[in-house]
Amino acid sequence: MSSLEADLAMTVGAEQVLTDPDLLDGYLWDWTRRYTGAARCVARPGSAQEVAGVLRCCADRGVPVVTQGGNTGLVGGSVPGAGAKQPAVLLSTRRLRRLDPVDTLAAQVTAGAGVTLAELRAHAAAAGLEYGVDLAARDSATVGGTIATNAGGINTIRYGPTRAQLLGVEAVLTDGSVLSRMAGLAADNTGYDLTQLLAGSEGTLAVITAARLRLWPAEPVAAAVLAGVSGVAAAANLYAEIRAHLPGLRAAEYLEAAGLDLVREAAGLPLPLGRPHPAYLLAEIAGTPEQAERLGEVALPDDTAVALDRGGRAALWAYRERHTEAISKAGIPHKMDVAIPLGRIAEFRGELDGAVRAAGGPDCRVIVFGHIGAGNLHVNVLGPDPADEAVDEAVLRLAAAFGGTISAEHGIGRAKAGLLHLSRSPGEIAAMRAVRSALDPSGVLNPGVLFT
Ligand code: FAD
Ligand code: MLT
Ligand code: ZN
């Protein structure tokens, strides 16, 4: 055993340092199977102090550290880079499993970085409260990973993304210092907000070990609505109309025929409505059954399903939530996660297929879905070789040309590091790099993520 592995074993316990290639394999491939790289070992610390020990061991030797939570990230940031100069230590946060009793007075909770979203949400629900972030990877995605990516998800239009839930963090820098701001003060105006700085930092500034999170009053879900529409413009207009009539609107999601067909094929599901449509809007409404009756004031398309009971709502949601797995079943996708100003989203969509095919060839399959309420479209392309980045660049350039962003919610990761300039100015990138150098002077945290 080299001295690094020996020192790591002293820090976290020998059984928490994995070097067996078969055990490493599961940590080294990202969820999409598009990204992989080499690691010399996996270290699994069980406390902030152990994380500090791991980081000191690596920073002293200049060994890269890739932090990994649930490994559900979709931009290659949770696994080592293929062309890395030297193999990394993969730091798994899954043993950071603190979950304190819910503070019902403040409507807050403290959770360890390795707690999954599903566990956190169930814990909050048992206290009559709700955690504001939810997404289909909820059974694996972790508190730490969702903070590091500033994850969005299906309820962003109601509660905001992860950063809006974040009241404090405990995090460890590469010099081993532990920053802890966990009092959950809703009013605390004391200089730079280091907590918020870590939201969206993608493992490049510090390792988050725990967080103090805001909770919301649990709201009963009254209805899910699936409406067949002609395309993205109609979906956006219908979203705005439902929003105007129903203040309890908590999700507004977009689907197209190509994705729906893949989901139906993968999951063996019937047509969701009376006939096929080019596109669909799925909306979820909170409130009492009486409040949901205001749906009657909305000019819903003729082919619309409204589900009031839990089973019926879940059946409609399956068509949306199973997109990611159904697409991956059909191939290794190029996943682009853009947001476009709603007023220009139809124009963007109109040019998208042409741009993809010009870059990737006529056989590319384009599958678009997403969180229409946030102007967030997930553009998935099947066909081109995983290593070929031409369609990725074409889609992201198109998004930028329409005043959009190259990352609505998944982050930059390794996938888009070379295109950060499409969404951030040279001055902003220089400032971001300066922050990174200040917090991680040895540059060992996730090299190749966020910046090339
Ligand atoms: P990982 O994948 O392990 O890591 C993601 C990034 O965070 C990496 O850069 C990693 O280095 C860093 N990181 C992880 N933990 C820490 C930590 N403790 N400290 C510092 N850095 C850390 N995303 C959305 O935003 N909205 C969605 O609706 C959504 N739906 C999804 C559905 C499916 C089926 C799948 C597979 C993914 C989905 N995602 C979605 C993407 C993914 O779930 C999120 O990006 C999530 O936040 C990743 O959490 P994780 O714990 O898996 O992090
Ligand atoms: C989703 O909204 O389902 C996700 O962000 C996952 C994806 O883009 O595949
Ligand atoms: Zn999404």
Chain-centre distance for alpha carbon 331: 21
C-alpha span between 273 and 223 (Å, rounded) = 16
**Whole-number pLDDT of residue 85:** 86
Residue 1 has pLDDT above 70, yes or no: no
- Closest residue by Cα to atom 41, ligand 1, is 73
Distance 377 CA to ligand 2 centre (A): 9
Global confidence as pTM: 0.98
Angle in degrees, CA 299, 308, 136, rounded to 5: 95
Tell me the CB-side half-sphere exposure of residue 136, using CA atoms within 13 A. Answer: 16
C-alpha span between 203 and 69 (Å, rounded) = 10
DSSP secondary structure, 317-361, as one string: HHHHHTHHHHHHHHS--EEEEEE--GGGHHHHHHHHHHHHHHHH-
Closest atom of ligand 1 to 146 CA is: 47
**Whole-number pLDDT of residue 285:** 98
**Ligand 2 pocket mutation, candidates 32, 135, 377, criterion most atoms within 8 A of CB:** 135
**Whole-number pLDDT of residue 307:** 97
Residue 314's contacts (CB-CB under 8 Å, 6 or more residues apart) are: none
C-beta separation of 388 from 364 below 8 A: no
**Ligand 1 pocket mutation, candidates 74, 92, 157, 205, criterion most atoms within 8 A of CB:** 74
Closest atom of ligand 1 to 113 CA is: 18
Q: What confidence tier does 394 reach under pLDDT thresholds 50, 70, 90?
A: very high
Q: Is 345 exposed, middle or buried (0-12, 13-18, 19+ CB in 10 A)?
A: buried
Ligand 2 binding pocket includes 324 (Cβ within 6 Å) = yes
Ligand 2 binding pocket includes 146 (Cβ within 6 Å) = no
Ligand 2 binding pocket includes 156 (Cβ within 6 Å) = no
Token pair for residue 282?
A: 């799925």
> Which helix (H) or strand (E) segment is 10 a member of?
helix 3-12
C-alpha span between 237 and 414 (Å, rounded) = 35
pLDDT in tens, 291-337: 999 999 999 999 999 999 999 999 999 999 999 999 999 999 999 99
Chain-centre distance for alpha carbon 115: 15
C-beta separation of 157 from 246 below 8 A: no
Distance 71 CA to ligand 1 centre (A): 6
C-alpha span between 130 and 284 (Å, rounded) = 16
Within 10 Å of residue 139's Cβ, how many Cβ atoms? 11
**Ligand 2 pocket mutation, candidates 72, 323, 368, criterion most atoms within 8 A of CB:** 323
DSSP secondary structure, 357-391, as one string: HHHH-TT-EEEEEEEGGGTEEEEEEESS-TT--HH
Distance 392 CA to ligand 3 centre (A): 17
Within 10 Å of residue 425's Cβ, how many Cβ atoms? 9
Distance 384 CA to ligand 1 centre (A): 24
- 3-class DSSP state of 226: strand
> Which helix (H) or strand (E) segment is 22 a member of?
helix 21-28
C-beta separation of 381 from 390 below 8 A: no
- Closest residue by Cα to atom 8, ligand 2, is 378
Distance 140 CA to ligand 1 centre (A): 9
Pairing of strands 249-256, 129-130: unpaired
Distance 59 CA to ligand 2 centre (A): 34
**Ligand 1 pocket mutation, candidates 34, 65, 67, criterion most atoms within 8 A of CB:** 67
**Whole-number pLDDT of residue 2:** 67
Average of pLDDT values for 115-127? 98
Cβ < 6 Å from ligand 1: which residues?
31, 66-74, 77-78, 93, 113, 135-137, 140-142, 144-146, 148-149, 151-153, 202-203, 207-208, 324, 409-410, 446, 449
pLDDT in tens, 122-180: 999 999 999 999 999 999 999 999 999 999 999 999 999 999 999 999 999 999 999 99
- Closest residue by Cα to atom 7, ligand 2, is 324
- Closest residue by Cα to atom 4, ligand 2, is 324
Distance 40 CA to ligand 3 centre (A): 32
Average of pLDDT values for 96-106? 98
pLDDT in tens, 4-48: 999 999 999 999 999 999 999 999 999 999 999 999 999 999 999
Residue 419's contacts (CB-CB under 8 Å, 6 or more residues apart) are: 392, 393, 396, 397, 406
C-alpha span between 404 and 309 (Å, rounded) = 37
Handedness of CA 142, 144, 145, 147 (dihedral sign): positive
Token pair for residue 121?
A: 């949400």
Average of pLDDT values for 204-231? 98
Mean pLDDT check: name the lowest of 84-88, 109-113, 369-373: 84-88
**Ligand 2 pocket mutation, candidates 378, 380, 381, 392, criterion most atoms within 8 A of CB:** 378
The pLDDT mean for the chain works out to 97
C-beta separation of 145 from 194 below 8 A: no
C-alpha span between 113 and 69 (Å, rounded) = 8
Distance 153 CA to ligand 3 centre (A): 5
pLDDT in tens, 71-100: 999 999 999 999 888 999 999 999 999 999
Residue type, 29: W
Distances in whole angstroms, Cα of residue 77 to Cα of each of 5, 14, 100, 204, 235: 23, 26, 29, 10, 32
Residue type, 7: D
Ligand 2 binding pocket includes 136 (Cβ within 6 Å) = yes
**Whole-number pLDDT of residue 431:** 98
